Protein backbone atom coordinates (compact mmCIF):
# COMPACT_ATOMS: atom_id res chain seq x y z
CA UNK A 1 0.00 0.00 0.00
CA UNK A 2 1.32 3.44 -0.94
CA UNK A 3 0.28 6.64 0.82
CA UNK A 4 -1.32 9.22 -1.47
CA UNK A 5 -1.49 12.13 1.01
CA UNK A 6 -3.07 14.51 -1.52
CA UNK A 7 -6.18 12.32 -1.50
CA UNK A 8 -6.08 10.87 2.02
CA UNK A 9 -5.90 7.30 0.73
CA UNK A 10 -3.67 4.25 0.67
CA UNK A 11 -3.30 2.76 -2.80
CA UNK A 12 -2.42 -0.85 -3.62
CA UNK A 13 0.52 -1.04 -6.03
CA UNK A 14 1.76 -4.25 -7.67
CA UNK A 15 4.93 -5.60 -6.10
CA UNK A 16 8.04 -4.75 -8.10
CA UNK A 17 6.55 -1.80 -9.96
CA UNK A 18 8.58 1.42 -10.00
CA UNK A 19 6.89 4.07 -7.84
CA UNK A 20 7.24 7.68 -8.97
CA UNK A 21 6.10 10.39 -6.51
CA UNK A 22 4.62 13.83 -7.24
CA UNK A 23 7.99 15.57 -6.79
CA UNK A 24 9.49 13.55 -9.66
CA UNK A 25 6.42 14.09 -11.83
CA UNK A 26 6.82 17.86 -11.38
CA UNK A 27 10.52 17.82 -12.35
CA UNK A 28 11.01 18.25 -16.15
CA UNK A 29 14.36 16.42 -16.14
CA UNK A 30 12.95 13.44 -14.26
CA UNK A 31 9.87 13.38 -16.51
CA UNK A 32 12.13 13.20 -19.56
CA UNK A 33 13.95 10.21 -18.02
CA UNK A 34 10.62 8.47 -17.29
CA UNK A 35 9.41 9.11 -20.85
CA UNK A 36 12.63 7.71 -22.31
CA UNK A 37 12.59 4.60 -20.12
CA UNK A 38 8.94 3.51 -20.17
CA UNK A 39 7.10 3.26 -23.52
CA UNK A 40 4.05 5.53 -23.77
CA UNK A 41 4.66 7.35 -20.50
CA UNK A 42 5.72 10.53 -22.27
CA UNK A 43 2.32 10.75 -23.95
CA UNK A 44 0.60 10.13 -20.61
CA UNK A 45 2.59 12.88 -18.91
CA UNK A 46 2.05 15.27 -21.83
CA UNK A 47 -1.71 14.76 -21.51
CA UNK A 48 -1.58 15.84 -17.85
CA UNK A 49 0.06 19.10 -18.97
CA UNK A 50 -2.99 19.82 -21.12
CA UNK A 51 -5.08 20.06 -17.94
CA UNK A 52 -3.60 23.54 -17.30
CA UNK A 53 -3.30 23.00 -13.55
CA UNK A 54 -6.89 21.79 -13.10
CA UNK A 55 -5.52 18.46 -11.87
CA UNK A 56 -1.98 17.49 -10.95
CA UNK A 57 -0.26 14.12 -11.30
CA UNK A 58 0.58 12.98 -7.79
CA UNK A 59 1.71 9.38 -8.33
CA UNK A 60 2.72 7.00 -11.09
CA UNK A 61 3.63 3.33 -10.81
CA UNK A 62 5.11 1.60 -13.86
CA UNK A 63 5.83 -2.04 -14.68
CA UNK A 64 9.63 -1.97 -15.08
CA UNK A 65 9.69 -5.02 -17.33
CA UNK A 66 8.10 -2.98 -20.14
CA UNK A 67 11.44 -1.28 -20.72
CA UNK A 68 12.83 -4.68 -21.78
CA UNK A 69 9.90 -5.82 -23.95
CA UNK A 70 8.52 -4.67 -27.27
CA UNK A 71 5.21 -3.40 -25.85
CA UNK A 72 4.04 -0.02 -27.16
CA UNK A 73 2.91 1.06 -23.70
CA UNK A 74 4.26 0.26 -20.24
CA UNK A 75 1.58 -1.03 -17.88
CA UNK A 76 0.96 1.77 -15.41
CA UNK A 77 -1.16 3.04 -12.57
CA UNK A 78 -1.54 6.81 -12.34
CA UNK A 79 -3.18 9.18 -9.87
CA UNK A 80 -4.21 12.77 -10.56
CA UNK A 81 -5.69 15.00 -7.86
CA UNK A 82 -7.81 18.12 -7.94
CA UNK A 83 -9.50 20.22 -5.28
CA UNK A 84 -12.07 20.08 -3.85
CA UNK A 85 -13.35 16.58 -3.19
CA UNK A 86 -16.75 16.27 -4.85
CA UNK A 87 -19.61 13.81 -4.66
CA UNK A 88 -23.16 13.44 -5.92
CA UNK A 89 -24.06 15.08 -9.23
CA UNK A 90 -20.74 17.00 -9.37
CA UNK A 91 -18.83 13.72 -9.31
CA UNK A 92 -20.95 12.42 -12.20
CA UNK A 93 -20.38 15.65 -14.14
CA UNK A 94 -16.61 15.51 -13.59
CA UNK A 95 -16.53 11.83 -14.57
CA UNK A 96 -18.36 12.64 -17.81
CA UNK A 97 -15.77 15.23 -18.83
CA UNK A 98 -12.93 12.91 -17.85
CA UNK A 99 -14.41 9.94 -19.72
CA UNK A 100 -14.85 11.99 -22.89
CA UNK A 101 -11.29 13.31 -22.67
CA UNK A 102 -9.83 9.86 -22.07
CA UNK A 103 -11.83 8.37 -24.94
CA UNK A 104 -10.54 11.04 -27.31
CA UNK A 105 -6.94 10.73 -26.11
CA UNK A 106 -6.90 6.93 -26.29
CA UNK A 107 -8.93 6.71 -29.51
CA UNK A 108 -11.69 4.64 -27.90
CA UNK A 109 -13.63 2.51 -30.35
CA UNK A 110 -16.86 2.66 -28.32
CA UNK A 111 -18.31 5.30 -26.01
CA UNK A 112 -16.99 5.05 -22.45
CA UNK A 113 -19.14 3.16 -19.96
CA UNK A 114 -19.59 5.00 -16.65
CA UNK A 115 -21.14 3.53 -13.57
CA UNK A 116 -21.32 4.39 -9.89
CA UNK A 117 -19.38 2.00 -7.67
CA UNK A 118 -18.88 2.00 -3.92
CA UNK A 119 -15.35 2.25 -2.54
CA UNK A 120 -13.98 2.38 0.97
CA UNK A 121 -12.65 5.89 0.36
CA UNK A 122 -15.68 7.69 -1.08
CA UNK A 123 -18.18 7.93 -3.90
CA UNK A 124 -16.74 6.77 -7.20
CA UNK A 125 -17.53 6.51 -10.89
CA UNK A 126 -15.81 3.70 -12.78
CA UNK A 127 -14.96 4.36 -16.43
CA UNK A 128 -14.27 1.57 -18.86
CA UNK A 129 -13.63 1.81 -22.58
CA UNK A 130 -12.39 -0.22 -25.47
CA UNK A 131 -9.32 1.15 -27.17
CA UNK A 132 -7.70 -0.10 -30.36
CA UNK A 133 -4.84 -2.60 -30.06
CA UNK A 134 -1.35 -1.16 -30.38
CA UNK A 135 1.28 -3.11 -32.28
CA UNK A 136 -0.80 -6.27 -31.87
CA UNK A 137 -1.28 -5.82 -28.10
CA UNK A 138 -4.77 -5.60 -26.61
CA UNK A 139 -4.92 -2.54 -24.32
CA UNK A 140 -6.70 -2.31 -20.95
CA UNK A 141 -8.05 1.13 -20.01
CA UNK A 142 -9.90 1.52 -16.72
CA UNK A 143 -10.34 4.56 -14.49
CA UNK A 144 -12.08 5.71 -11.34
CA UNK A 145 -13.08 9.24 -10.44
CA UNK A 146 -13.28 9.23 -6.66
CA UNK A 147 -14.50 11.82 -4.17
CA UNK A 148 -11.71 10.91 -1.72
CA UNK A 149 -11.30 12.44 1.75
CA UNK A 150 -8.94 15.28 0.69
CA UNK A 151 -9.43 15.66 -3.08
CA UNK A 152 -11.14 14.33 -6.15
CA UNK A 153 -8.88 11.65 -7.57
CA UNK A 154 -8.57 10.20 -11.04
CA UNK A 155 -6.97 6.77 -10.80
CA UNK A 156 -6.19 5.00 -14.06
CA UNK A 157 -4.88 1.58 -14.98
CA UNK A 158 -3.56 1.44 -18.51
CA UNK A 159 -1.43 -0.97 -20.49
CA UNK A 160 -1.20 -4.17 -22.50
CA UNK A 161 -3.67 -6.82 -21.35
CA UNK A 162 -0.98 -9.49 -21.04
CA UNK A 163 1.01 -7.27 -18.66
CA UNK A 164 -2.09 -6.52 -16.56
CA UNK A 165 -3.55 -10.04 -16.38
CA UNK A 166 -2.54 -10.30 -12.72
CA UNK A 167 -4.17 -6.95 -11.85
CA UNK A 168 -7.96 -7.03 -11.87
CA UNK A 169 -9.06 -3.38 -11.98
CA UNK A 170 -12.17 -3.94 -9.85
CA UNK A 171 -10.25 -5.85 -7.17
CA UNK A 172 -7.70 -3.05 -7.18
CA UNK A 173 -10.37 -0.37 -6.59
CA UNK A 174 -11.94 -2.42 -3.80
CA UNK A 175 -8.56 -2.49 -2.02
CA UNK A 176 -8.26 1.32 -1.72
CA UNK A 177 -8.46 2.43 1.93
CA UNK A 178 -8.47 5.70 3.84
CA UNK A 179 -5.37 6.95 5.60
CA UNK A 180 -5.70 6.37 9.35
CA UNK A 181 -5.99 10.13 9.97
CA UNK A 182 -8.94 10.57 7.61
CA UNK A 183 -12.25 9.66 9.18
CA UNK A 184 -15.37 8.91 7.14
Q: What is the DSSP string of 10-65?
A: EE---TTPEEEEHHHHT-HHHHHHHHHHSTTHHHHHHHHHTTTTSSEEEEEEE-GG
2-178 belongs to which homologous superfamily?
Mog1/PsbP, alpha/beta/alpha sandwich (3.40.1000.10)
Looking at residue 64, what is its pLDDT? 81
Looking at residue 63, what is its pLDDT? 82
Q: What is the pTM of this model?
A: 0.84
Q: How far apart are CA 171 and CA 59, in angstroms?
A: 19
Looking at residue 159, what is its pLDDT? 78
Looking at residue 25, what is its pLDDT? 84
Pairing of β 152-160 and β 56-62: unpaired
Looking at residue 76, what is its pLDDT? 81
Looking at residue 27, what is its pLDDT? 86
Looking at residue 49, what is its pLDDT? 62
How does pLDDT run along the chain (184 residues), one tens digit per residue? 888 888 888 888 888 888 989 898 888 888 888 787 776 776 677 666 665 556 788 888 888 876 555 666 777 888 888 888 888 888 898 888 888 888 887 788 888 889 998 888 888 899 988 888 777 777 778 888 888 888 888 888 887 777 776 677 777 777 777 776 655 5
Looking at residue 42, what is its pLDDT? 67
Looking at residue 128, what is its pLDDT? 87
Question: For the chain, which residues make up each domain, given as ranges?
Answer: 2-178
* Nearest alpha carbon to residue 157 among 137, 136, 171, 177: 171
Amino acid sequence: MVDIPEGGVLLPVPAGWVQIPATDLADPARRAQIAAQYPGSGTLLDQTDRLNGQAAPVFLAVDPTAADRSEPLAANLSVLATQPSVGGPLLDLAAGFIADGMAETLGATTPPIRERVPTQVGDAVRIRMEVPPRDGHEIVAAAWVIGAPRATLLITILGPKEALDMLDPDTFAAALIRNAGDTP
